[in-house]
């Protein structure tokens, strides 16, 4: 069959980030993350004998009319898209129009469709099948069995006017058996992170699942589970050698939920990189309570440029209530330890949890400045459907949003806080970015750490992105 994978338009301020984002939002620029699960889907569909084409209307600046025209050219039998909560209103319109234009069967996946798997079929007659949880490992089976889906687990689908639920199915335990992402069909050149230092730059994943239970985190709760499943280091290195040999990759982003959970595996990975004498730098997601000096020393020698650390709040009470499992002291000691090894830190902070107050917001801003990571990501705390935070907010009548489109982070908080109105946090992101980045101490820190031309270019590019981000949220 001919399968079209599509990321259709998403109206709103800035550029919509559907795929591969744990924090789904409209952002100020086109530094969009590589949709690696779509690339995995493409490779598995091709392995099953299907042909695959791709449209990313956000990246390609296609409106819906142009998207329809390009979709018709692909002559698809099936269209697949990854849906999200803040984009779902636009997704329904896009899919309805695409079905009318092409007559193709419509398959969707993603966290929103996973949580509301019956509801999306009821609300959007254009949708034929919902693939729940990890869609890439199921999509080829769904497409190959479209005429009779009763034996395909992990889906909900429409059949003769009835909605059929085949159950959740199981997550793949054998990640080494999954073919590498198809980075040609899903073009790797289209996607970059704002903080990259070198090109070619690419994303990869060495594991799936995250063993931690932060109440706000979407993917472990709705997509890939809390059990961490690992690829072998041999398998990971085979992919990296292919990326270096075929594409000349010079920088990697390891997009595991938490890369640093298994110390022996991290050390083995770093030593293998050194043994291959690969001129690579890389970034990963980590947690301060999984790091120690031995691991960080190996990571630095193995080319680690930066570790992204989820801090979330400067209030211990808020950290406890969101089940972060960390203390402020652990975070402070951990950031200091990473810096001591010459590895950059990116700190993630959130505002607008139901447990937040004026006091805790100010504590978070002060804590961010005191930690002074090399980069920060400030976000509005979104209680996406599929998370325990959403259940808490719904059960306690704390939801403020009247429509799912308000979950795109440009409307302010979506839940009630302890003592603030929604308007009080409407511009918090612009304020936070201004106060953090334009401190004289941070400017000096940044200038001191600019060791080469790659870093000078990165800092200048990041400054341009920062200015656009502040404008988007002020």
Each residue of 3-52: pLDDT tens digit? 999 999 999 999 998 988 888 999 998 889 999 999 999 999 999 999 99
Average pLDDT over every residue of 194-198: 90
Instruction: Tell me whether the CATH fold assigned to 2-165 matches the one assigned to 192-473.
Output: no
Burial 419-446 (b: 16+ CB within 10 A, else e): ebebeebbebbbbbbeebbeeeebeeeb
192-473: CATH topology is pyruvate-formate lyase- activating enzyme (3.80.30)
The predicted pLDDT at position 38 comes to 98
Measure CA 126 to chain center: 26
The predicted pLDDT at position 21 comes to 83
Nearest Cα neighbor of 78 from 109, 120, 122, 116 is 109
Q: Which CATH number fits domain 2-165: 3.40.50.2020, 3.40.50.2300, 3.40.50.300, 3.30.420.10?
A: 3.40.50.2300
Note whether 313 and 364 are within 8 A (CB): yes
Q: 43-100, pLDDT tens digit by residue?
A: 999 999 999 999 999 999 999 999 999 999 999 999 999 999 999 999 999 999 999 9
Average pLDDT over every residue of 271-286: 96
Decide: helix, strand or coil at residue 179: coil
- Domains of the chain, residue spans: 2-165, 192-473
The predicted pLDDT at position 452 comes to 85
Measure CA 414 to chain center: 20
Where residue 103 falls among pLDDT bands split at 50, 70, 90? very high
The predicted pLDDT at position 403 comes to 95
Nearest Cα neighbor of 472 from 422, 418, 410, 428 is 410
Q: 289-347, pLDDT tens digit by residue?
A: 999 999 999 999 999 999 999 999 999 999 999 999 999 999 999 999 999 999 999 99
pLDDT of 462 higher than 90: no
Note whether 247 and 189 are within 8 A (CB): no
Is residue 459 packed enough to be buried (19+ CB in 10 Å), middle (13-18) or exposed (0-12)? middle
Q: 390-437, pLDDT tens digit by residue?
A: 999 999 999 999 999 999 999 999 999 999 999 999 899 999 999 999
d(CA 108, CA 5): 10
Measure CA 221 to chain center: 14
Tell me the C-alpha to C-alpha distance, in Å, between residue 419 and each of 360, 414, 429: 11, 14, 18
The predicted pLDDT at position 463 comes to 85
Calculate the average pLDDT of the chain.
96
Is residue 374 packed enough to be buried (19+ CB in 10 Å), middle (13-18) or exposed (0-12)? buried
């Amino acid at each position: 069959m001919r399968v079209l994978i599509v990321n259709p338009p998403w109206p709103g301020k800035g550029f919509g980030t559907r795929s591969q984002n744990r924090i789904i939002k409209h952002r100020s620029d086109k530094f969009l993350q590589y949709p690696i699960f779509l690339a995995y889907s493409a490779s598995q569909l091709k392995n099953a004998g299907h042909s695959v084409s791709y449209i990313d209307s956000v990246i390609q600046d296609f409106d819906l009319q142009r998207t329809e025209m390009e979709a018709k050219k692909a002559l698809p039998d099936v269209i697949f898209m990854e849906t999200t909560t803040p984009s779902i209103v636009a997704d329904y319109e896009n899919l309805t129009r695409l079905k009318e234009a092409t007559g193709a069967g419509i398959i969707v996946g993603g966290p929103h469709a996973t949580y509301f798997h019956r509801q999306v079929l009821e609300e959007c007659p254009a949708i034929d099948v919902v693939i729940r949880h990890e869609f890439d490992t199921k999509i080829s089976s769904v497409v190959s069995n479209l005429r009779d889906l009763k034996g395909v687990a992990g889906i909900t689908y429409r059949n003769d006017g009835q909605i059929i639920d085949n159950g959740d199915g199981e997550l793949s335990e054998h990640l080494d058996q999954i073919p590498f992402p198809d980075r040609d069909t899903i073009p790797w050149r289209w996607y970059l992170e704002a903080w990259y230092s070198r090109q070619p730059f690419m994303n990869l994943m060495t594991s799936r699942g995250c063993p931690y239970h932060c109440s706000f985190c979407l993917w472990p709760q709705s997509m890939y589970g809390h059990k961490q499943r690992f690829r072998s280091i041999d398998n990971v290195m085979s992919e990296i050698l292919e990326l270096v040999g075929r594409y000349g990759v010079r920088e990697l982003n390891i997009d595991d939920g938490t890369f640093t959970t298994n110390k022996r595996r991290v050390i083995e990975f770093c030593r293998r990189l050194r043994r291959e004498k690969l001129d690579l730098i890389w970034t990963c997601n980590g947690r301060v309570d999984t790091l120690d000096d031995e691991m960080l020393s190996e990571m630095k020698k193995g080319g680690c440029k930066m570790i992204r650390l989820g801090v979330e709040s400067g209030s211990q009470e808020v950290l406890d209530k969101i089940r972060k499992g960390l203390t402020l002291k652990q975070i402070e000691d951990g950031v200091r330890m990473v810096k001591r090894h010459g590895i950059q830190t990116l700190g993630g902070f959130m505002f607008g949890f139901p447990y937040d107050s004026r006091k805790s917001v100010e504590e978070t801003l002060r804590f961010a400045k005191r930690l002074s990571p090399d980069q920060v990501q400030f976000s509005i705390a979104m209680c996406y459907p599929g998370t325990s935070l959403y259940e808490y907010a719904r059960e306690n009548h704390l939801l403020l949003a009247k429509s799912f489109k308000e979950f795109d982070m440009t409307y302010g908080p979506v839940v009630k806080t302890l003592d603030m109105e929604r308007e009080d946090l409407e511009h918090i992101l612009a304020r936070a970015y201004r106060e953090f980045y334009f401190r004289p101490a941070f400017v000096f820190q940044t200038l001191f750490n600019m060791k080469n031309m790659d870093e000078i270019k990165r800092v200048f590019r990041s400054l341009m992105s920062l200015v656009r981000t502040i404008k988007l949220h002020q």
